[in-house]
Chains A and B, each alone.
Chain A
């Protein structure tokens, strides 16, 4: 009998999890959990979904990362942080590559990452109901501070390209909303 499997994890997330469990690179993925996005320091590169691949060929290590937005100014910093951390842990031969394809999607963010974002005061993508065209709505993203939906968008573009700016009309706090792309 063929059982139909119901996954509790999105397919993408499952694939990523499998990838990091591979025997020869597992310790490298674990080590790199210490590297955070410099602009959102509660998110590790893994949580954000921009750490795409780690390959090991003898002593040579190749790490592949992908930018969230074309102009993400943090990419150079992140590359340096990745190489530095691995160097500090005894891996001398490290190359960090940037790959554009497939394009980063906010779907790649981990469940842990979404929780941490909210606790940090940034509403994750799923905390708003998107417009019909898939873009950020002009109201009702859940406030990460008080949970109210009585909020409105103040600006399409927030403190970084990946965020929009909202304000809560109940607790009056402004907050960033991580855009879904």
Chain B
């Protein structure tokens, strides 16, 4: 494997790890705030699936980097400008409708991305995908059910769900952006060509939203930058909280 490809895979694994840990952390913020106990547990479980994926992606990135860093260094010792996650995933948890709409957008995305990643020539990435696909089926069923219930629910829940969709829509375009690094890996049969997935995503999401009596927004604005390290203000605050214990007690073991 050439150094160029190896570095690209390391970068790609880091991005996927960043996506997973950021969404996993956001979901975990609901623990003890869920509307009822079972939902609280569900949030905990889904969060754990994502944090688990992050560990797998980061361990692989660390192995490729081979510079003495481990998975924890990737998660806890990088600043917001070094994070490469999609902006959609770092948005604050908002109200329950907002979190479920974001989750639906992400779950449909992974429903499409993971089967492609399973075909990767990189065995480790394909291995993570094989595990994650099974988990995502359950995630999608839950977020779809909630969006249907909330969208087609009371006047208040409908209003909040529509508002969440409108507010988050502009962050979804970035999910399908490609850059040189990913294109290089697509050519090698390693990465997923996400630019080809938008139509399918749009169709699945639109069908669910329509069924939930929610209006699918026009594409009038788009925010991008996560993959180049330009984030919203929210990520910095999130990382501060997520990283403080690790940074306050470097090397601490228990």
Contact = CB atoms under 8 A, between A and B. Distances in A.
A103 B131 contact: yes
Interface in A70-114: 70-73, 99-104
Contacts, number: 82
Interface in A59-79: 67, 69-73
B52 A72 contact: yes
Given A70-B55, A101-B130, 16 more contacts: A69-B49, A69-B135, A70-B128, A71-B24, A71-B49, A71-B50, A72-B52, A100-B124, A101-B126, A103-B127, A103-B134, A133-B141, A136-B138, A154-B38, A155-B39, A161-B45
Given A69-B49, A70-B52, A135-B141, A155 B38 contact: yes
Interface residues on B, range: 20 to 34
Q: Which secondary structure dominates chain A's binding surface?
A: loop
Interface residues on A, range: 20 to 34
Nearest to B44: A157
B247 interface: no
B36 to A, nearest CB: 9
Max chain A C-beta neighbours (<10 A), residue from B124, B126, B131, B138: B131
A134 interface: yes
Contacts of B38: 154-155, 157, 165
Interface of B: 24, 38-39, 41-42, 44-53, 55-56, 123-124, 126-128, 130-132, 134-135, 137-138, 141-142
Given A70-B49, A71-B53, A72-B52, A155 B130 contact: no
Interface of A: 67, 69-73, 99-104, 133-136, 154-161, 165, 179, 181
A69 B123 contact: no
Contacts of A134: 137
